[in-house]
Structures are given as structure tokens and as C-alpha cells.
Amino acid sequence: MGMTITEKILAKSAKQARVSAGENVWLDVDVLMTHDVCGPPTIAIWKKEFGEKAKIWDKEKLVIFPDHYIFTKNSHANRNVDILRQFANDYDLPNYYDVGTERYKGVCHIALAEEGFNVPGTVLFGTDSHTCTSGAFGMFATGVGNTDAAFILGTGKIWEKIPETMKFTFKGKMPPYIASKDLILQILGDIGTDGATYRAMEFDGEVIDSLSMYERMTLTNMAIEAGGMNGIIAFDDTTKKYLSEIGVTEYDIFESDNDAVYHSKFNYDVAKLEPLVAKPHSPDNRDTVRNVEGTKLTKCYIGSCTGGKITDFRFAAELLFGNEVKVTTFVVPASTAVAKQLEEETLKGISLKEIFEKAGCIIAESSCAACLGGPSDTIGRSVEGDVVISTTNRNFPGRMGSKSSQVYLASPLTVTASAIRGVITDPREFL
């Protein structure tokens, strides 16, 4: 009996010839990632539990990105960054990316990719549910809490239950009005926010093959929105090219066997898909954009690990060129590298940044910002009565700030088309 890509990677990490779904194993962790919200409590647990003997299992494998509550006057939030800085100094950590320095990167999941920590065939744990984003690189990546992270920090090991795998295959040619965000919203509407709980979500098919690494990351990012343990896309030439450009050349390539056992298989013809939204207050509350067209908006938001990548802004710039926004629109590049690309990349001779400025968007500094609400002075945070359309990943009550606000999730194309009209708008109106 064959194995899936997820099973093969976990078998290697568990030092076993094979593993089967449902089995509990102890894994060797290749990278542990944490940030300003969960890093300080993780460090506190590690110090308390290991006491005088507390030792970081491998400094090279610990990666810390302050990214959540960065541009705020909130003294408690700032204290959390101070704790990370002190920890990095005390232990001389090589992979700490401090705020206010040239090393600052922005949102961890995108920075992990940019900095070469996403290595095919490896196992990455992070104190953030969207750690599953890294699975786009043919690796196992998942989120854990602070106690598990503290255990990894001291031992390099953690227990995990081998997940069953669900396979999602996309065939056909991507229409220009569909982005990978629509693909994952389609899946979420089909299986619900617990449709993949404790399972791996494997994406393949000619559509996935045609997607850039960043568009693939939109899919794996939102695996957790279906409850998935991890999202995964096999290594291919696109992965290889991305990695070689940032100097990552050593890795293990795994593929699912033809006779691998799947929990279930889903097939989609992408030509038949419509631009979609997730209506308030759940990522699986799917509807077509056409069905909610005309809904009056107070804010549009393009940002986050899900929807603040360069590919998201290319979609947005294409529609915004020569247009103005009718409603307050936030542009929040996920990383400082994306922010730099907005300045350098041009469309018809004009930089993407200038296109956004001319259109009247508010461009913020790279961080998680209002995706998860954050302290009261967070840019873009929703307030009472707001109706927001956003490229982010969650719209639970209060997620972007006020629990009385209404948040629609959509692709960067749909969000931008809606920003231009001030009401929810199908991107086909502009394409």
C-alpha cells in the first residue's frame, strides 16, 4: 500500500519506514517558528518547565518574526517585542528579525518563504494556525500552541497524530476573473470549517501546476479554515525555480504514491467556478459575488499572509490602473520585500505603489495589522457598523475588530473591483 506525500514526510521525521493515518508518532522538528503574540508565553513556559537546564535544542532551527502587533502604542504589545529582543540577545539567536531594523520582515508565513526556511520534505511547526501556509513547498507545516512550542524549543521533538489525507484536484484553465482565493472559498463552502479537521489537504491538478508559489500559498494558508492539520502541494519546477532564486538547493522531494490511501477526493473544473465571497461570520459561508453584488461597503482591505502577497497586489493594480477607490481601501503588504516590490514593479510604466496612491488607497507598513483586529490603534481595524470586504482569511465575529462589523472574504480581484464601486462588485465588470 502506498503513502501520501504527508505520510512520507512524517515517516521520515518519525524515523519509521512507514506511518499510517491515526497513528501517534514523535517527530523530529526541522524548524520552529514563533512571533510576538505567542513567543513570550512560549519562552516563559520553556523557562519554567526546563528550569536551570533550559537549553534551546538548535538555535539555527528557531525562527522568530515579530509581526502581529508592531505599529501600535499599546505598551503591553510593545513589551512582548521587547521580550523577544531580549531573548534573541541573551541566546545570540541567528534568526531573529527585529522591528525597526533592516532585518524586519513582516508577516511570518510570507517571510518564512522569502528567507528560505520553507524546505521541501521538512517538518515545520509554528505558534500560529496559518503555519500551514508553508505546505505549498512540498513540506509538512502546522500550527501548535505555546506549550507544544516550548516542548519543541527544549527537545526538538513533538507528538503528532498522522492525519488522513483529503485530495482536491483542479482541472481546466484558470479564467482571468478567478484567483486561488476563489478555489479555497469553493472548497470551504463544500466541506465547512470542520470538513478537514485533523486531516491533510493535498492540492493537485493542472490548475495547481500553473499557479505561482504565492498563489499556491493562498490555498495552503486557508487549509486551517477547514480545520486541516496541514495543506500540501508537491514540489515541481515552479517550486524549484523559486527556491533556486533564493539559494535553497538542498532538499528531499516526496510525491504521493498512485496507490496511496485517501480519506476522500474532490474534483473541480475551474472553468465552471464563479468569483466567490465568504459572507459574515464564517469562512465557509460561501456565496457567489453576483448574489451579494451591490452590498454597500465602508472599508476594503488588501493584506495579510493570505492576500497581501505580490501576486495579490498585481491583481489589484491591474484593476485599479486609471481608477479611483470609492471607499476607504487599505493596502498592507505582507512583508517588507513585498512593499519594496510595490515600489520597483511597474505596470504600463507606473509603479504599483503609485497606482495605489493615485487610486486613493491607504498604504500601511508590513505587519498582520487589522487581519486579526489587534490593539485599538491598529490601522484598518474594523469599528462598529463597518461592512468590510477583505482578502484575509477569517471573518468570525470580532476577528477584524468590532464584533458588530460585517466582514466578507474575497479574492484580491473581487475586493479591488468592490473598492472601485464602493459596493460588492464582480471583477468581471472590469475584465
Q: Which is nearer to other proteins, 341 or 395 (CB)?
A: 395
Q: Is 57 in the site for other proteins (CB under 8 A)?
A: no
- Is residue 289 within a helix (H) or strand (E), and if so which, with residue range? helix 289-292
Residue 126 near residue 221 (C-beta atoms within 8 A):
no
* Nearest-angstrom CA–CA distance, 124 and 147: 16
Q: Is 16 in the site for other proteins (CB under 8 A)?
A: no
Residue 316 near residue 414 (C-beta atoms within 8 A):
no
What is the nearest approach in angstroms of other proteins to the Cβ of residue 398?
4
Pick one of 156, 172, 360, 398: the residue that binds other proteins (CB under 8 A). 398
Q: Is 301 in the site for other proteins (CB under 8 A)?
A: no
3-state secondary structure of 267: strand
What is the nearest approach in angstroms of other proteins to the Cβ of residue 116?
23
Residues touching other proteins: how many (CB under 8 A)? 51
Q: Which span (264-272, 290-298, 308-316, 395-403) binds other proteins, by CB under 8 A?
A: 395-403
Pick one of 298, 375, 383, 428: the residue that binds other proteins (CB under 8 A). 375
Q: Is 123 in the site for other proteins (CB under 8 A)?
A: no
Residue 54 near residue 154 (C-beta atoms within 8 A):
yes
Q: Which span (6-14, 48-56, 87-95, 203-211) binds other proteins, by CB under 8 A?
A: 48-56
Q: Is 69 in the site for other proteins (CB under 8 A)?
A: yes
Nearest to 240 by CA among 108, 95, 336, 118: 118
Q: Is 143 in the site for other proteins (CB under 8 A)?
A: yes
The three cell numbers of residue 191 are: 466541506
Q: Which is nearer to other proteins, 292 or 369 (CB)?
A: 369
Instruction: Specify burial of residue 141 (Cβ count, 10 A radius: 0-12, 13-18, 19+).
Output: buried
Nearest to 370 by CA among 295, 305, 288, 304: 304
406-410/276-278 β-pairing: antiparallel
Pick one of 95, 129, 291, 323: the residue that binds other proteins (CB under 8 A). 129
Q: Is 403 in the site for other proteins (CB under 8 A)?
A: yes
Phi and psi for 267 in degrees, rounded to 5?
Answer: -120, 135
* Nearest-angstrom CA–CA distance, 216 and 210: 9
406-410/387-390 β-pairing: parallel
* Nearest-angstrom CA–CA distance, 234 and 218: 15
140-143/199-204 β-pairing: unpaired
Helices first, then strands: H and E counts in the chain? 15, 19
What is the amino acid identity at position 236? D
CA 248 to chain centre: 21
The three cell numbers of residue 334 are: 505582507
Q: Which span (155-163, 357-365, 410-418, 423-431) binds other proteins, by CB under 8 A?
A: 155-163
Q: Is 405 in the site for other proteins (CB under 8 A)?
A: no
Residues 245-284 that bind other proteins (CB under 8 A): 282
* Nearest-angstrom CA–CA distance, 334 and 185: 20
What is the nearest approach in angstroms of other proteins to the Cβ of residue 161?
8
Pick one of 16, 86, 89, 197: the residue that binds other proteins (CB under 8 A). 197
Q: Is 85 in the site for other proteins (CB under 8 A)?
A: no
Binding mask 344-373 for other proteins (x = CB under 8 A): ----------------------------xx
Q: Is 151 in the site for other proteins (CB under 8 A)?
A: yes
Q: Which is nearer to other proteins, 38 or 319 (CB)?
A: 38
Q: Is 55 in the site for other proteins (CB under 8 A)?
A: no
Pick one of 13, 122, 127, 414: the residue that binds other proteins (CB under 8 A). 127
Q: Which is nearer to other proteins, 48 or 265 (CB)?
A: 48
Give residues in contact with other proteins (CB under 8 A). Answer: 24, 37-38, 40-41, 44, 48-50, 69, 74, 76-77, 79-80, 126-129, 131, 143-148, 150-151, 154-155, 159, 161, 193-194, 197-198, 227, 229, 282, 372-376, 394, 396-399, 401, 403
